[in-house]
Amino acid sequence: MAKRFTDTDLFKKRFLRSLPSKYKLLWIYLYHDCNHAGIWEVDFEVANIYIGETIVEEKAIEMFKGKIQVIDNGAKWFIPSFIEFQYGVLNPENRAHLSVINILNKQGVCKGLVRGLQGRKDMDMDMDMDKEMDKDRVETQFEEWWKLYSKPEGKKKSLVKWLKLKQPDRGKCLEVVGDYVISKPDKQYRLNPLTYLNGDHWDDEIILPDELKPKKHPYATCKCGFDYKLRPNEIEAAKKKPCPECGGKVEIIYA
């Protein structure tokens, strides 16, 4: 049985939180059923059995837009974030990575995921340069976060703390800062930036006003598994029509 790293912050990510329940399950299923190169052999018949729900492929592709690459004329899906999370940057000198690289090259999806081969001296020089570039990139991220947080107190100490954070935590700070600021429009109620960083408050639940919460869309669904997205002016008519797939009763849900 293959073992893989799992993300303990998975359910804190906005992307997953925004998905309807059965598509949350599908996303988790993909991470477990894809091969070690992050490629899933598309088989919704089996996926539906394991998930216990009926998934519409076209809708799944729409839900996962930007998160998957449909390849091999739709027979396979590639999940780039699987590679980034499991391996980081792929290294051709690492035997464990090499088979992954070969598979990705065969599918034509390897661009940007592999560190180039080079001499040891050049590699060491590049690593030093990378450290400088990484520091510049991290400081740029901080400036972006600082501007969005918009409570200019203790900037130098906050930057020192920011540099010590792990990249996933810095990314989470940037991901949630917009919602955090919206939830606390009055600056006096926002935490001091250093207090926010020291307390790992990027993981706190953010409660938004109802009018700012993501809007749900209406869908017509049937027990046979057929479902389709509705426009607001189509809801009443859809309630009266039988399922076009099996003739059964249609239910309106919001997801």
pLDDT in tens, 27-82: 999 999 999 999 999 999 999 999 999 999 999 999 999 899 999 999 999 999 89
Report the percentage of the chain scoring pLDDT > 90: 33
- The vertex-228 CA angle with 61 and 248, nearest 5°, equals 135
Q: Are 95 and 20 found together in one domain?
A: yes
Distance between CA atoms of 17 and 43, rounded to whole angstroms?
Answer: 24
Q: Are 80 and 159 found together in one domain?
A: no
Q: Are 76 and 39 found together in one domain?
A: yes
Which range (7-16, 151-160, 182-191) has the least confidence? 7-16
Q: Are 14 and 103 found together in one domain?
A: yes
How far is C-alpha 147 from the geometric centre of its chain's CA atoms?
24
Nearest by Cα to 81 from 24, 5, 142? 5
Q: Judge whether 2 lies within some domain.
A: no
Q: Are 31 and 103 found together in one domain?
A: yes
Report the chain's mean pLDDT, rounded to a whole number.
82
Distance between CA atoms of 44 and 122, rounded to whole angstroms?
Answer: 47
Give me the sheet containing 39-41, strands edge to edge. Answer: 39-41, 76-78, 69-71
Which residues span the domain enclosing 42? 10-107
Q: Are 15 and 91 found together in one domain?
A: yes
What is the pLDDT at residue 126? Answer: 44
Q: Judge whether 28 lies within some domain.
A: yes
Q: Are 223 and 203 found together in one domain?
A: no
What is the pLDDT at residue 214? Answer: 55
Q: Are 205 and 225 found together in one domain?
A: no
pTM (two decimals): 0.47
Report the percentage of the chain scoring pLDDT > 70: 85
Residue 109 has pLDDT above 60, yes or no: yes
Last residue within a domain, chosen from 86, 107, 128: 107
Q: Where are the beta strands (DSSP E) in 122-232?
A: 218-221, 227-229
Q: Judge whether 113 lies within some domain.
A: no
Q: Judge whether 3 lies within some domain.
A: no
Q: Are 80 and 19 found together in one domain?
A: yes
Beta bridge partners of 40: 77
Residue 129 has pLDDT above 50, yes or no: no
What is the pLDDT at residue 215? Answer: 59
Residue 121 has pLDDT above 60, yes or no: no
Q: Are 22 and 98 found together in one domain?
A: yes
Last residue within a domain, chosen from 107, 127, 145: 107
Q: Judge whether 4 lies within some domain.
A: no
Residue 120 has pLDDT above 60, yes or no: no
Residue 164 has pLDDT above 50, yes or no: yes
Q: Are 25 and 88 found together in one domain?
A: yes
What is the pLDDT at residue 201? Answer: 93
Alpha-helical (H) ranges within 34-79 are: 44-51, 57-63
Number of domains in the chain: 3
Q: Judge whether 117 lies within some domain.
A: no
Residue 192 has pLDDT above 50, yes or no: yes
